[in-house]
Amino acid sequence: MPEGDYSVAQSVTLASTTADATIYYTLDGTAPTAASTPYSGEISVTSSTVIMAFAVLSGWTDSTISAAAYTINSSTQLPPSLSVPGLSGSANVIVKDSVSTGCTTSPNCLIVGGDFAAAGTLAANNIVKIKTDGSFAVMGTGMDGQVNALAIDSAGNVYAAGRFTTAGGVSAANIAKWNVASSTWSALGTGLTGDDAAARALALDSAGNLYAAAESWNQETEVSSFRIAKWNVTSSSWSDLVTEMDGYANSLAFDGSGNLYAGGAFTTIGGVTANYIANWNVASSTWSALGAGMGDHVIALAMDSAGNLFAGGDFLHRRWRSCKLHC
C-alpha cells in the first residue's frame, strides 16, 4: 500500500528484494534497529503513522532505511461524544443559549446536538433544548441525521450542522437554521454539499456571517476533500474561504478583531504549512501558522476575553503555547 492520505484504516505489507532477509520496523517515526519489531505479516494502520523499516541478512550489508507516511482522515470519524442524562444516544456538542425567551435567567438554557432519537419521553431527533428547570423542549421534528456543531446568533437563532438531509422536514444539506421567532427550521441555500458530505464546526463573526468547516468523500476516486465555507447573512449565499486543506478542521473560533482560528487534522491550509492550527487574518485575507503548531490533531478551540487562544486535542506535546494575539 503506497503512502499517502486515506479515509479508512489500511493494511500495509513490507517486502525485501533479498530472499530470506529479516525486516525490522517502527511505527513511531524513530529509526529501526535489529532490536526493533521484526516484520511477520500485514501491519494495520488505523491512525496517522510513519512506518520506518530496513532489511537485514547475515553476510550482507544492511539495507538503507525506508520510510512511508500514512494519514488517516476518515470522513466517518465522529467528534468526541458524551453522555447526557435523558438522551437515548450520545451528545456531540452543547452550547449555552442566553438569548431566547425563557433562557435569559441563570443558568440559561442549553442546546444539545448529537446522535439520539429521544430526550426523555420526547422524540427529539438529534437536537434538543434543556430548559432552566431541567426539562426538555423539542426543536421542531429535529434532523434525520447526527448534529456535530451548533452556533447561536445575537437574536437567538440556532445554526446546526452535521450529517443530515432534512431539518424539521425541510430539505437541508448538512446545515440548517432554527428561526427562534417562528420556531421553524430552514435551509441555508444549497447547504454543504458533496459525496458523503458532513460538517464538523461552526462559528459566527461579529456581523452574523456563519463559517462552517466541512468535508466530503469521493467514492470513485477515494479522495477526501476539506473546506471552510462562509454563509453571507446579507446576500444569503455561500462562498469558500479555503479549499486547499490536507485534513479536516474540527473547531473554529473568532477573536475580537474578526480574525478566524481553525484547529483540526490538517498540516497545510491555503498553501501554508500549519501544523493542526492556523489563523485567517481578516485584514490581509491570508492564512498563517501559529508558531510551530501542535504535535497532533486539535479538537477544540476557545478564546478568552483577553484574546488568549486555548486549544485541546490529541497532541501529546504542544509546539505552540496559548498566548495573546500576535505573540
Query: Could you state, in chain order, the average pLDDT of each consecutive group of 10 residues for the chain (327 residues)?
Result: 64 88 90 93 82 93 87 52 81 87 74 94 95 89 96 94 96 96 95 89 95 86 87 95 92 93 95 94 93 89 88 66 36
Residue 148, phi then psi, degrees to nearest 5? -105, -25
260: Cα separation from own chain's centroid: 15
Q: Which three cell numbers stand for residue 16?
A: 525485501
Contacts of 56 (CB under 8 A, 6+ apart): 21, 22, 23, 24, 34, 62, 63
pLDDT for the residue numbered 7: 55
pLDDT for the residue numbered 213: 96
pLDDT for the residue numbered 136: 92
pLDDT for the residue numbered 325: 36
3-state class (DSSP) for residue 37? strand
Which of 37, 44, 36, 50 lies closest to 3 in space, CA to CA? 50
Alpha-carbon distance of 70 to 166, in angstroms, equals 35
Counting beta carbons within 10 angstroms of the beta carbon of residue 271, is it exposed (0 to 12), middle (13 to 18) or buried (19 or more)?
exposed
pLDDT for the residue numbered 164: 96
pLDDT for the residue numbered 131: 86
Which of 100, 143, 105 lies closest to 123 in space, CA to CA? 143
Residue with cell 482522515: 73
Alpha-carbon distance of 327 to 324, in angstroms, equals 6
pLDDT for the residue numbered 11: 80
pLDDT for the residue numbered 77: 45
pLDDT for the residue numbered 42: 87
pLDDT for the residue numbered 36: 94
Beta strand pairing call for 170-171 and 166-167 = antiparallel
Beta strand pairing call for 277-281 and 237-242 = unpaired
pLDDT for the residue numbered 8: 60
Q: Which three cell numbers stand for residue 292?
A: 510551530
pLDDT for the residue numbered 80: 57
